[in-house]
């Protein structure tokens, strides 16, 4: 039965097993009811218990076995390397695709050392067998001592190198032939990721190899990693919930940090054909990242088996676009859809806003390239296109007027343009002020005015009775300074209420006729949270002042309200029935 790694091996073992453990760890006494072992001894004990064979094999320390998988029946053990310095806990095998005889076997052990064997004729045999008399039956398994390999007894495995990489268990190791180095990781801070560069020098008798060590420091250490030879990047699965992208030659800081996981990342894998990286966290959330843009493209959760796992592995079959994940005794398969080639795109840049005209049955789209496109909804045909509608500025929002005879476009240039559905521009509403860069996030069209949001703490209003010239300046709103941060969203509640929401999460209700704020809603406002935290003692406030300042910007952005919607058909007489919906960045 599997034993949990808590340092306890109980009476579920046989007497022969317990005798072997007593001899290996020099336990005294005749009581075998409970043996308490530390973490390293536990791994060593498993290697003794699981090695059921002769007495010599049972007492051999930390064996490493090689099996023949070409047999259609049972796997036969061909070689067994014994007398290793410590129990191996991770393995990696590399072979030269142009010469299968050239291969490298490397492993990391519980002492943090990285060891490697170099084979010269792996396709023939790994270790030469000594000739024996014909009448003697040759043993199926060849016992190989590590000290014999170091002395050069076997010509096919003439090189063995080892170096101290970590101060704790080596969680993963990999040989990179293009860089001629070993990459390994551990859950330690000072030597989280270690690259062992192979240095070769020729002496009179033979060629000597040594290892030069380069250590990367990561907060809380690294659980796993992967290397992309084409991009020359190392992706690390951090115990601090982050996925970092490293240049192998730059140890000071990562080339990119991918944030989004809320639990330690336990596996990471590159998709070589799509320039993507997959990360899997301890809470069973799979994220797919774009390496170039360093953004999360997809998040998968709730589809994997439940229950604690001893270890999870990820494998990508790129020729068939299949992703395999292991969970104890189960295997999950995620099959990706084939990427559609020669796809016809409606825009050259990302689409930022869409509106629809019920009267004309047309769709209007805007993109980051400042282009407006008119589409016939029945056939999907593009009727016309207005390029450079806002010059070089990006179009951020569109709005339709109630009569659907005009539409409004706003951009990062701080200008709201009024158009008809034939593509003719009538007016420009200038939201820019001296020293203020206006970036419009929303346009609200009312019966006698137009409201623009996204760049000011006060309401920016344009009254329709002043639409005489092409370029129009904003009018004055009666009551000011009600919002403490920029207004990002607005909504109209008939017959005479205007509702605005700001970056800090405060919602204000205005009377359109008097232009006076009648109510403020601060239930999810960040300023209210800060006021609540300020009621703590002065000593406590001083202790948390530095961390509060560091996290203040992220905390405020979590209360941002990006959209407001009024449920016009909700019955006003219904009790406990809300008719205003707000949404923002906070989950």
What's the CA gap between 170 and 581, in Å, rounded?
Answer: 52
Helix (H) or strand (E) holding 49: helix 39-49
Q: What is the pLDDT of residue 535?
A: 45
Q: Compute the distance between CA of residue 480 and CA of residue 565 in angstroms, rounded to an integer.
A: 23
pLDDT at position 57 is 41
Question: Which CATH superfamily groups domain 351-552?
Answer: YVTN repeat-like/Quinoprotein amine dehydrogenase (2.130.10.10)
* Cβ–Cβ < 8 Å for 160, 206: no
Tokens at residue 389, please?
């509608």
Closest CA to 225 of 254, 197, 265, 190: 265
Beta bridge partners of 160: 117
Residues of the chain with pLDDT under 70: 1-64, 68-73, 131-139, 158, 203-207, 339, 341, 435-437, 523-558, 571-575, 585-587
Q: How far apart are CA 265 and CA 185, in angstroms?
A: 13
The Cα 5–Cα 476 span in angstroms is 71
Sequence ranges of the domains in the chain: 8-57, 351-552
How far apart CA 24 and CA 41 sit, in angstroms, is 10
How far apart are the C-alpha atoms of 32 and 231, rounded to whole Å? 55
Encoded tokens for 253: 């800081």
Residue 20: which residues within 8 A CB-CB, separation 6 or more? Answer: 48, 49, 58, 59
Q: How far is the C-alpha of 266 from the C-alpha of 236, rounded, in Å?
A: 9
Helix, coil or strand: residue 56: helix
The predicted pLDDT at position 24 comes to 63
Distance, in Å, from the CA atom of 449 to the CA atom of 306, rounded to the nearest integer, reads 56
Q: Which of 525, 510, 457 is nearest to 486 (CA)?
A: 457
Alpha-carbon span 77 to 84, nearest angstrom: 18
Residues 170 and 183 sit within 8 Å (Cβ to Cβ): no
DSSP 251-288: -SS-SEEE---SS-EEEEEEETTTTEEEEEETTSEEEE
The answer to whether residues 271 and 278 touch, using CB atoms and an 8 Å cutoff, is yes
> pTM of whole model > 0.75?
no
Cα separation, 197 vs 211, in Å, equals 5
pLDDT at res. 380: 87
Do residues 348 and 367 make contact, with C-beta atoms less than 8 angstroms apart? Answer: yes
Q: Is the peptide bond before 495 cis (omega within 30 degrees of 0)?
A: yes
């Amino acid at each position: 039965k599997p034993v949990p790694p808590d340092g306890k091996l109980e009476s579920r073992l046989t007497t022969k097993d317990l005798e072997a453990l007593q001899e290996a760890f020099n336990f005294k006494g005749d009581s075998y009811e409970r043996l308490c072992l530390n973490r390293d001894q536990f791994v060593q004990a498993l290697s003794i218990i699981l090695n059921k064979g002769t007495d010599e094999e049972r007492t051999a320390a930390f064996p490493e076995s090689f099996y023949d998988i070409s047999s259609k029946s049972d796997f036969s053990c061909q070689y067994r390397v014994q007398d290793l310095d410590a129990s191996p806990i991770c393995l990696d095998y590399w072979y030269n695709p142009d010469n299968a005889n050239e291969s490298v076997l490397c492993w990391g052990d519980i002492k943090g050392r990285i060891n490697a064997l170099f084979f010269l004729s792996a396709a023939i045999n790994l270790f030469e067998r000594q000739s024996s008399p014909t009448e003697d039956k040759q043993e199926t398994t060849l016992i190989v001592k590590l000290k014999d390999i170091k002395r050069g007894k076997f010509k096919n495995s003439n090189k063995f190198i080892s170096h101290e990489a970590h101060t704790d268990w080596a969680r993963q190791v990999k040989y990179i032939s293009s860089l001629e180095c070993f990459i390994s990781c551990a859950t330690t801070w000072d030597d989280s990721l270690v690259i062992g560069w192979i240095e070769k020098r020729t002496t009179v008798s033979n060629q000597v190899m040594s290892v030069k060590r380069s250590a990367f420091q990561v907060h809380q250490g690294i659980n796993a990693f992967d290397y992309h030879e084409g991009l020359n990047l190392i992706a690390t699965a951090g115990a601090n919930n982050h996925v970092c992208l490293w240049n192998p030659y730059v140890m000071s800081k990562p080339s990119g940090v991918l944030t989004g996981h809320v639990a330690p990342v336990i596996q990471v894998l590159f998709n070589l054909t799509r320039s993507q990286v997959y990360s899997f966290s301890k809470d069973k959330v799979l994220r797919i990242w774009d390496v170039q843009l360093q953004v999360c493209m997809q998040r998968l959760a709730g589809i994997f088996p439940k229950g604690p796992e001893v270890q999870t592995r990820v494998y990508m079959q790129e020729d068939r676009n299949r992703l395999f994940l292991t969970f104890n005794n189960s295997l999950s398969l995620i099959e990706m859809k084939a990427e559609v080639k020669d796809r016809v795109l409606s825009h050259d840049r990302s689409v930022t806003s869409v509106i629809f005209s019920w009267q004309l049955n047309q769709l209007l789209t805007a993109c980051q390239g400042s282009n407006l496109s008119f589409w016939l909804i029945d056939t999907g045909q593009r009727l016309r296109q207005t390029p450079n509608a806002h010059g070089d500025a990006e179009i951020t929002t569109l709005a339709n007027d109630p009569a659907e005879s005009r539409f409004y476009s706003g951009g990062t240039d701080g200008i709201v343009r009024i158009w008809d559905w034939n593509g003719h521009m009538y007016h420009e509403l200038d939201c820019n002020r001296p020293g203020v860069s206006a970036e419009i996030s929303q346009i609200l069209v009312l019966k006698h005015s137009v409201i623009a949001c996204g760049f000011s703490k006060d309401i920016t209003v344009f009254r329709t009775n002043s639409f005489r010239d092409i370029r129009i300046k904003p009018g004055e709103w009666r009551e000011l300074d009600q919002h403490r941060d920029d207004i990002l969203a607005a909504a109209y509640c008939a017959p005479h209420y205007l509702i605005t929401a700001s970056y800090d999460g405060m919602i204000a209700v205005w009377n359109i006729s008097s232009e006076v704020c009648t109510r403020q809603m601060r239930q999810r406002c960040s300023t209210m949270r800060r006021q609540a935290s300020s009621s703590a003692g002065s000593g406590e406030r001083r202790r948390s002042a530095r961390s509060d300042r560091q996290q203040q910007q992220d905390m405020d952005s979590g209360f941002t309200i990006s959209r407001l919607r009024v449920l016009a058909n909700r019955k006003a007489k219904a009790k406990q029935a809300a008719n205003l919906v707000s949404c923002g960045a906070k989950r």
